Amino acid sequence: MLKIDALTKRFGDKMAVNAANITVDKPTMIGIIGRSGAGKSTLLRMVNRLSDASEGAISFDGEEITSLRGAAKRNWQSRCAMIFQQFNLVPRMDVVSNVLHGTLNKRSTFATLFNLYPQEDIHKAIEILDRLGIAEQAPKRAEALSGGQQQRVAIARALMQDPKIILADEPIASLDPMNAQVVMQALRTIHEEDGRMVIANLHTLDTARRYCDRVIGMRDGRIVFDGTPEQLTTGVARDIYGAGADFSEAATSTEIETLDRPEVRHAEAFA
């Protein structure tokens, strides 16, 4: 399905992403971990084509992505939704309008200017919000919502795009543990119920272990680990983060139930 081949990004003489190879055969929930500056965000931004690759190729269902230009590139972006750490909503517009922004690729600038969205799109937007449990917030301004609610609006915008892939760049890094759980649960549900591929940059190991089917570890722009959550031992995590023996997973955790983690994962992540 998705094939990333020797993808490289250079900023000056610094290699942000260095010859990354990832192959995904079926819709999977993938977590990318690594410390700040490891190239996780740059990798996702290249997949969405927010930034251009220096070298290498991305292909999706046989279609070459890195060489797309203009309308073809924007069409790919509409099929490959992105969620950001700081939500990146339009703060002064209401929640439904923000969700409807997911259809912008299909609308002309003129229709956008006069806010002419079809009624079925508006109904669909509110249904998506209802699915995420925030339909009551529909007429409010996005800036009036809490962080967790705003992130769910961002997920609703992504779903409105009806994408094949959802990229999530640190989706829970600015949320409290409770909201982080709600958002991760939403992404997991979307993956399971809709069969969409989800690729999420995560900054906590236990989140990756708990919600993802596959974990990719990056360090200094290189992919240093690619395997199942079970293979991600503390020793491997030390390598990924370049940490010494004093590294403790609990110290980076934002989970409420850090201590009974392994059992929690299967019991509740799929609930």
Partner 1 sequence: MADISLGSASQGLDGIQSSYMAQVQRRRLYGGLTLLIFVVLMVSGFNIADDRNAGGFWEGLHQIGDYPADVLSEAWEKRADLPSLIATYLPALVETVNIAAVSTLIGAIGGLFLSLLGTRGLARWPRLIPVFRRISDIMRAVPEIVVALVLIFVLGGGPVPAMIAIAIHTAGALGKMFSEVAENADLKPVEGLASTGATWSQSMLLGVLPQVAPNYISYALLRFEINIRASAILGFVGAGGLGYELRNAMAWGPGRFDEATAIFILLFGTIVFFDQVSSRYRNRLTKGQAR
- The residues of the shown chain that bind partner 1, judged by CB under 8 A, are 96, 114-117, 119, 122-123, 126-127, 130-133, 135-136, 138-139, 178, 181-182, 185-186, 189, 268, 271
In the chain, the largest separation of any two C-alpha atoms, in whole Å, equals 60
Judged by CB, which is closer to partner 1: 74, or 123?
A: 123
Judged by CB, which is closer to partner 1: 91, or 133?
A: 133
Distance CA 119, CA 121 (A): 5
CB of 94 to partner 1, least distance (A): 8
CB of 125 to partner 1, least distance (A): 9
CB of 76 to partner 1, least distance (A): 29
SS3 content of the chain, % helix, strand, coil (to 5): 45, 25, 35
Using CB atoms within 10 Å of the CB of residue 98, give its burial: 0 to 12 exposed, 13 to 18 middle, 19+ buried.
buried
Residues forming beta bridges with residue 33, ordered by sequence position: 217
CB of 4 to partner 1, least distance (A): 31
Judged by CB, which is closer to partner 1: 182, or 198?
A: 182
Judged by CB, which is closer to partner 1: 18, or 181?
A: 181
Host H or E run for residue 71: helix 70-79
Pairing of strands 222-227, 214-219: antiparallel
Contact 82, 167 (CB under 8 A): yes
Amino acid at 40: K
CB of 33 to partner 1, least distance (A): 23
Judged by CB, which is closer to partner 1: 88, or 189?
A: 189
What ranges make up the beta strands (E) of 65-152? 80-83
Judged by CB, which is closer to partner 1: 59, or 185?
A: 185
Judged by CB, which is closer to partner 1: 44, or 100?
A: 100
CB of 131 to partner 1, least distance (A): 6
CA distances from 190 to 196, 216, 247 (A): 7, 20, 33
And the tokens for 52? 């251009």
Instruction: Say which DSSP state 198 is in.
Output: E
CB of 118 to partner 1, least distance (A): 11
HSE-CB at 261 with a 13 A cutoff on CA atoms is 18
